[in-house]
Structure 1
Amino acid sequence: MLKFAFYISHHGFGHTTRMAALAKKFNEFGIFVYIRSAKPDYLFQDLNPHLYEKEDTICDVGVKHKANLEPDKAATRLALLQLMGKRQEIIDREVDFLRKEKVDLIITDIPWLPVEAGTYAEIPVFAISNFDWIFIYDKLFGKQTDLKPVLNTIFGLYQRVDYAFRLPLSSTKSMGSFRKIEKTGLLAAYKPPNPELKKALGIDSQSPVLTCSFGGEGEMNLNWKNMCSAFPGTVISTRELKEIPNYIQIPSDFDFSSLISISDILLTKPGYGSFAEAIQSGTFLIYYPRKDYPEEEVLIKGISSYPQKIQLPELNLSVSEWKNVFHTALTFSGQRKIIPNRNKQVASLILQRYIELHYSQKKLNSIFDIGSNNLNYALCEAGKSVPVHTAQIKTGIGREYKIVKGTVRIKREAIKRFKSLVSNFMAYDQNIPSSKFVIATGIHRQSPQLQQLSEWFNKKWKAKYRLLKEGEEAELAYLAAKDLIPDKQSAIIIDIGGFSTQFIYSEPDSNIDRMSIPIGLLTIRKTVQEGKKLNNVLDKIAKSIPFWKADMIICVGLTATFLAKIVKRSRYYRPDELNGCRISLKELRTLKDILESGKNEEIANYAMEPESLDILYYSIQYYIFLLDRLQSSGFLVCYYGIATGYNQKLNKINKR
């Protein structure tokens, strides 16, 4: 599993919201993100709670402000010097963190000290922003020559960055401190318009909405009474105002992205976050520039082709002047423009550049294991048993099936949903320079409908499709788990899927016995739903399993790994830390008792799929039964699944 560390500027909220949007996309591809930021936790509420960890850390000071958000040069200078006085302390702390967590990549927006930490920790560093701090500080402190050593240090660190990505609303000068720089599309937090939001706020569906936001650095002087009196609808902001009938105060942690998407007008100062979130929704922009702030020029120039905007000459307008402004905005008859975000494309580009940087001389394989309920992904270096990255998504393709004349039938809607989910995931891998392979198991063996997916994978994704036989699947489970077997010991390897279970008996002299039974967690679930008792289902399985005796039992894949996360009470999903851990029969019985007592909240926070606790319960029962049957007190977890086993098999084939 790849692990990326995000270092986010403490300046304003725009850096934070766009980096949270980027982290969300990396989470979709199974990448674990460490957030190094002291901004409020609610700004990261859309991230996968199992795939990110946040620590309040400050690595830059941005620009300090006076009243009306004007730059305070003296306060900024003092804060900058104080930060650099703590330089060694910050570097030591971050190097220790990076090494301890085995971080693969640093992404900074746009503190410079993490670049130095990355140098010492021997980790590549990417930068992403619409400006760098040299651009800002050089203009603010241009005549203060005694600060040149500090600015030269910042410039020198930026020069070490491996790749820099320049966002829109920028210029070549505003990001001029980097060697390798690449332009990207818009990166912004986004929520699709929610028609229920107006209702929830008590706003009539036909009423115009004006949202006011001046970022995370304070307020600007504004005659709110005049402005609200002039607006023929509802005005919304976080400011506390009294006795204004058409005004709604919202809490500071309100989701502004969802609010902007339903607003007719956004009143704001120039800022990347505000501008980006407005132009991607087609919201009319009314803005008032700050004085002497270098970023204003590139931000305003960046929206020059966006027609739905008005730049105010001042904020303290009369009621009649505000009415004229709002009339112009609300009756805008020009051709409206929307500039959609490119969040997924930006994440995919960064991932591509990381892989090219780190594995340019290596042969890579992307392997997609499409089972009965999940897609399991492994990006592997050819010949290596430990993958570069693994991830999974729940497709639910086998959740609702029927048996018609001995054949598994899948609803068309389920196949359509499967293609949509898989396409969304595979788009991240598409530009990785790797050979693409799809291996199909479980329900795919029993459904001619799903076997027709081979053409879709081949044509759309240029991926070689292979339907595995039961024996082949068992062999791959063995290859995935074999590194956990000590020398001169025997092992039973078990891989429980949705539609089948693979058993492999491995002896010290490399003799392997294997078998597959057409029973898995989804078939057990369906059988129980049809009224049969779970114990009767398991008794039927017992007749199929030989009385093997072995030194150890290893359980392979997601079923075992997800269970281990709960048993070990792991708040975050870092499967490499679960690989090789032991789950005891006692722990399984304790977890079973908790589920049967109805105390689901005790485990819901640790479950990767809390909506599927019935499947979890069946898996626990199944494991308990198997351990009793095989006379064992526990098993080892192998989180590497058959996708990594297939990579090893490809290497053997290529050597022939």
Structure 2
Amino acid sequence: MKNIAYYITTHGLGHATRSIAIIRELLKDPKLQIYICSKLPKNYLNGCFHSNSIKFHESDTLFGVRYKELLQVDIEKSIDIFRDGIKKQEKYIEKELEFCKKNNIDLIICDICPFPFDVADKLKIPSIAISNFDWYTIFKHIINQKKSHDLYENLEILRESYEKADLLLRLPFSIDMKFFKKKLNVSLVVRELTRDKTEIRSVFNLEEDVLLIFYGLTDYTFTTDELIKKFDILNTKHKELKIFFSKFLKKYIPKREYFRFILEEDQESQDYVAASDLVIGKVGYGTVSECVAYKKPLIYTTRKDFLEDIGLAKGIEMFGKGKYYTPKALLNGEFENLVNLTYELSKKSISNEIAINGALEVFQIIKKFI
């Protein structure tokens, strides 16, 4: 039996969804014991796996950013998170060293906190990074906006930690992560569908001719009254319209006959994306990868000062069916008739194809390390 510690950041669900896809491949090998190291909710993870080969270990994410109005990165609060993460480095490494020794960890996989690579280095065990971005590059840009030159020395701590990784498996639509000593590009990592379009629609008693729109933003602070009003106006003209929302928004959004929510016990949101005719959201890895994989039109916006979005926006334009709106326009529903737009984007041809078997590729690479 080989033991893997798989570290997953809680900054955005895209890290979780792609890690779930990879872990599901790993579980096909009965000789692997996987410890998921994260602060992701256990009920969420338990709903994704039904295996005795999975155990959970609570581990801090440490790094992330905060947002203010219109999906702008809050520079001041994000720098506070950076400072706090640096202060916790020593205790974090000490705690994770103890955990890895106690559980005889043979391999560390990380998406994408830097300090687990310090742990692997001290234990003399291999480590693999999996991501489309890194926190060194993200915070370098943020610190440059603030011109906080006193933070550059601390910034190098992140780079030095990442340099200790034995391999970076670089996902499609990535930013440049040149300081990793060894890199390997992999195909798109995306969760496979567990149900088809007909099954999802039947759960909600929806006919085949119903037009389904999936609203992908999960933070209630970005769901404005103006947006709901625009949906109401659209629904008066198009009674065939239904809109899916995340279950996390259920208690914040007013009730409407044409609103639907992902079921509380259902963790397979990719099935809802694939069952929809149009997706609305920001360009996170999970949203973009699933829209590209399942060829769904995406009305999207980007986050100011968050560099990850540059690669993701290029990805949806090159390999998907995307249409960009400013954060203000998208969050306030200032777009054209969504019904017409859905049909327009659906007809858009995709000039570039991309392989979506990245989870299997990653599994095959990981096996070589253990």
| 2-structure distance, mates of 1:220, 1:295 | 22
TM-score in terms of structure 2 length: 0.88
What whole-Å deviation, never above 9, does each CA across 1:576-607 have from its counterpart, x for those lacking one?
xxxxxxxxxxxxxxxxxxxxxxxxxxxxxxxx
**Stretches of 4+ aligned residues off by more than 6 angstroms:** none
Instruction: Tell me the equivalent position of 2:210.
Output: 207
1:42 shift after superposition: 4.2
Instruction: Tell me the equivalent position of 2:48.
Output: 46
Q: Does 1:234 align with 2:242?
A: yes
Instruction: Tell me the equivalent position of 1:346.
Output: 362
Instruction: Tell me the equivalent position of 2:347.
Output: 333
| 1-structure distance, mates of 2:135, 2:307 | 10
Contact 1:190 1:277 in 2 (8 A): no
Contact 1:27 1:48 in 2 (8 A): no
Contact 2:212 2:244 in 1 (8 A): yes
Structure 1 pair 339–266 and aligned structure 2 pair: CA distance change class (3 A): farther
| 2-structure distance, mates of 1:148, 1:200 | 53
Partner-residue secondary structure (3-state), 1:32: strand
Structure 1 pair 67–42 and aligned structure 2 pair: CA distance change class (3 A): farther
Instruction: Tell me the equivalent position of 2:179.
Output: 177
Superposed, which structure 2 residues align to 1:32-43 within 5 Å?
Answer: 32-43=33-44
Q: Which runs of 5+ in 1 are unaligned?
A: 356-656
Letter in 2 for 1:56: E
Structure 1 pair 51–219 and aligned structure 2 pair: CA distance change class (3 A): farther
Q: Does 1:249 align with 2:270?
A: no
Q: Does 1:312 align with 2:332?
A: no
Contact 1:132 1:176 in 2 (8 A): no
What whole-Å deviation, never above 9, does each CA across 1:238-282 have from its counterpart, x for those lacking one?
334335331123356643112112111111101101111111111
Partner-residue secondary structure (3-state), 2:34: strand
| 2-structure distance, mates of 1:283, 1:100 | 45
Superposed, which structure 2 residues align to 1:613-628 within 5 Å?
Answer: none
| 2-structure distance, mates of 1:290, 1:251 | 28
| 2-structure distance, mates of 1:105, 1:73 | 35
Partner-residue secondary structure (3-state), 1:322: coil
Instruction: Tell me the equivalent position of 1:81.
Output: 83
Q: Which residue among 47, 62, 65 is the counterpart of 1:63?
A: 65
1:234 shift after superposition: 0.7
Letter in 2 for 1:166: R
Q: Which residue among 163, 166, 182 is the counterpart of 1:162?
A: 166
Q: Which residue among 305, 316, 336 is the counterpart of 1:322?
A: 336
Letter in 2 for 1:69: L
Instruction: Tell me the equivalent position of 1:147.
Output: 151
1:138 shift after superposition: 0.8
1:111 shift after superposition: 0.4
Structure 1 pair 183–340 and aligned structure 2 pair: CA distance change class (3 A): closer
Q: Does 1:11 align with 2:11?
A: yes
Letter in 1 for 2:109: I
Letter in 2 for 1:210: I
Partner-residue secondary structure (3-state), 1:303: helix
Instruction: Tell me the equivalent position of 2:292.
Output: 279
Letter in 1 for 2:181: R
1:235 shift after superposition: 0.3
1:193 shift after superposition: 4.2
TM-score in terms of structure 1 length: 0.51
Contact 1:164 1:178 in 2 (8 A): yes
| 2-structure distance, mates of 1:51, 1:220 | 39
Letter in 1 for 2:233: S
Partner-residue secondary structure (3-state), 2:319: coil
| 2-structure distance, mates of 1:9, 1:216 | 17
1:135 shift after superposition: 1.3
| 1-structure distance, mates of 2:342, 2:354 | 18
Partner-residue secondary structure (3-state), 2:290: helix
| 1-structure distance, mates of 2:89, 2:50 | 32
Percentage of identical aligned residues: 24
Q: Which residue among 130, 135, 146 is the counterpart of 2:132?
A: 130
1:350 shift after superposition: 2.6
Contact 1:198 1:204 in 2 (8 A): yes
Q: Which residue among 194, 199, 207 is the counterpart of 1:196?
A: 199
Contact 1:132 1:177 in 2 (8 A): no
Instruction: Tell me the equivalent position of 2:313.
Output: 300
What count of residue pairs does the alignment treat as equivalent? 349
Partner-residue secondary structure (3-state), 2:222: coil
1:228 shift after superposition: 4.7
| 1-structure distance, mates of 2:113, 2:38 | 11
**Which structure would you say has the larger RCO, counting Cα contacts within 8 Å and 6 or more residues apart?**
2
What whole-Å deviation, never above 9, does each CA across 1:287-307 have from its counterpart, x for those lacking one?
122222211111111222224
1:197 shift after superposition: 1.6
Contact 1:69 1:220 in 2 (8 A): no
| 2-structure distance, mates of 1:148, 1:308 | 39
Q: Which runs of 5+ in 2 are unaligned?
A: none
What whole-Å deviation, never above 9, does each CA across 1:449-479 have from its counterpart, x for those lacking one?
xxxxxxxxxxxxxxxxxxxxxxxxxxxxxxx
Q: Which moved more, 1:44-53 or 1:130-139?
A: 44-53
Instruction: Tell me the equivalent position of 2:301.
Output: 288
Structure 1 pair 288–220 and aligned structure 2 pair: CA distance change class (3 A): farther
1:218 shift after superposition: 5.7
Letter in 2 for 1:153: I
Q: Does 1:101 align with 2:108?
A: no
RMSD across aligned positions (CA): 2.1
Structure 1 pair 99–290 and aligned structure 2 pair: CA distance change class (3 A): same
Letter in 1 for 2:171: L
What whole-Å deviation, never above 9, does each CA across 1:49-95 have from its counterpart, x for those lacking one?
21111122114221122233321121121122122222221111100
Letter in 2 for 1:262: A
Structure 1 pair 338–40 and aligned structure 2 pair: CA distance change class (3 A): farther
Instruction: Tell me the equivalent position of 2:24.
Output: 24
1:340 shift after superposition: 4.8
Partner-residue secondary structure (3-state), 1:155: helix
| 2-structure distance, mates of 1:189, 1:228 | 32
Contact 1:24 1:48 in 2 (8 A): no
Contact 2:82 2:139 in 1 (8 A): no
| 1-structure distance, mates of 2:355, 2:276 | 16
What whole-Å deviation, never above 9, does each CA across 1:539-586 have from its counterpart, x for those lacking one?
xxxxxxxxxxxxxxxxxxxxxxxxxxxxxxxxxxxxxxxxxxxxxxxx
Letter in 2 for 1:199: S
Contact 2:79 2:142 in 1 (8 A): no
